[in-house]
Copies of this chain bind each other. A is one copy, B any other.
Amino acid sequence: MKPNKISEAVVRRLPVYLRFLNELSASRIQTVSSQDLGEKLDLNPAQIRKDLAYFGEFGRKGVGYNVDYLIEKIRQILKLDKMMHVALVGTGNLGRALCNYNMYIKDNMKIVSVFDADESKKGTLINQLTVQPMQELSAAVKQHDISVGIITVPSAEAQNVADQFVAAGIRGILNFAPVVLKSIPGVRIHHADFTAELLSLAYYMDHINGSLNGEESQ
């Protein structure tokens, strides 16, 4: 199949496939069907086949998919073979946790520079990284070939940091602040919005027995 427009929904499922395939590979399982994948990942097998078919013919009819081959292909698609350098701004609890993780983002991302607007934090060490003031962002992006920025500052400052990222030449941003950021064409912003996940989770609590909106329902 030709690489037409791939929808976001498809791209977001690729990491999910990849992670499970890695598990299979670690268990020395060599072949997997869309059926198997669907059961484990709670997805429709036809959807999985269709998702993969956007990028090529990776399976064998009557057999299934070779696990290691499919891993290789998905890694290529997601471009996980190139190491990407990451800058993180905001050294609060979450920012420090991510720096200490760091290798959790293992496959292809590495936090190489850390920044904080608070001048008093300058020089602090976090997992071998020295906290820098924001004025040094632009130079660091050039020096370390940084392509991705992570925002872990309070909501009120997030847009400002995003703008500075863009000005410095960063083209991919992961924003942890619970606020919608404005971007420009060519810059991709993803949100890691777990506070929204929690709030929407609350909605579903006890909703099974349908006690919401008692006044108007039915």
Q: Which residues of A contact B (CB under 8 A)?
A: 1-3, 8, 11-12, 14-16, 18-20, 40-42, 55-57, 77-80, 84, 93-94, 96-98, 100-101, 104-105, 107-109, 147-148, 155, 171-174, 176, 178-180, 182, 186, 188, 190-192, 194-206, 208, 212-213, 216-218
Contacts and interface: CB of A to CB of B under 8 A. Distances in A.
B94 A200 contact: no
B197 A174 contact: yes
A87 to B, nearest CB: 13
A15 to B, nearest CB: 4
Contacts of A172: 201-202, 204-205
Copies in the complex: 2
24 contacts: A2-B217, A3-B217, A12-B196, A19-B155, A42-B182, A55-B217, A56-B217, A56-B218, A57-B217, A77-B213, A79-B212, A93-B96, A94-B101, A105-B198, A107-B199, A108-B202, A109-B198, A147-B205, A148-B201, A174-B194, A186-B208, A192-B194, A192-B197, A194-B194
Contacts of A179: 19
B97 A14 contact: no
A3 B57 contact: no
A213 B202 CA distance: 42
Nearest to A188: B204
A110 B199 CA distance: 12
B79 A203 contact: yes
A12 B216 CA distance: 22
A30 B155 CA distance: 21
Contacts of A96: 93, 97
